[in-house]
């Protein structure tokens, strides 16, 4: 069951970050540049999704790169999301 308090864009970003987690491992910290294309979102949509997910404690954010990474809570939330076509 997915969290109804997450928007579609937030779910897309979580799914995308889960993909990086699965491919690279727990230390996967993709930069925001290019993440919009990877997640299928516009740059402003990524910014909004990052702000909300960070406020909910589901991702960590590094301003210097800028980059993001799933927190343990974010990983659990991403694993609970239905597949993209099932939502």
Q: What is the pLDDT of residue 23?
A: 94
For each of the chain's 87 residues, which pLDDT tens digit applies? 345 689 999 999 999 999 999 999 988 899 988 898 999 999 999 999 999 999 999 999 988 889 999 999 999 999 999 877 655
Asked whether 86 and 50 are in contact (CB, 8 A), the reply is no
Q: What is the pLDDT of residue 63?
A: 87
pTM, whole model, 2 decimals?
Answer: 0.85
Q: Would you list the domain boundaries of the chain?
A: 8-80
Name which of 32, 43, 34, 33 is nearest 9 in CA terms. Answer: 43
Q: How far apart are CA 52 and CA 25, in angstroms?
A: 23
CATH topology of domain 8-80: Arc Repressor Mutant, subunit A (1.10.10)
Q: What is the pLDDT of residue 7?
A: 94
């Amino acid at each position: 069951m997915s969290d109804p308090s997450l928007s579609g864009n937030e779910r897309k970003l979580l799914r995308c970050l889960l993909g990086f987690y699965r491919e690279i491992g727990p230390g996967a910290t993709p930069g925001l540049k290019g993440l919009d294309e990877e997640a299928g979102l516009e740059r402003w949509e990524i910014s909004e999704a990052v702000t909300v997910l960070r406020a909910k404690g589901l991702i960590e954010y590094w301003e210097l790169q800028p980059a993001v990474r799933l927190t343990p809570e974010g990983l659990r939330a991403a694993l609970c999301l239905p597949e993209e076509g099932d939502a």
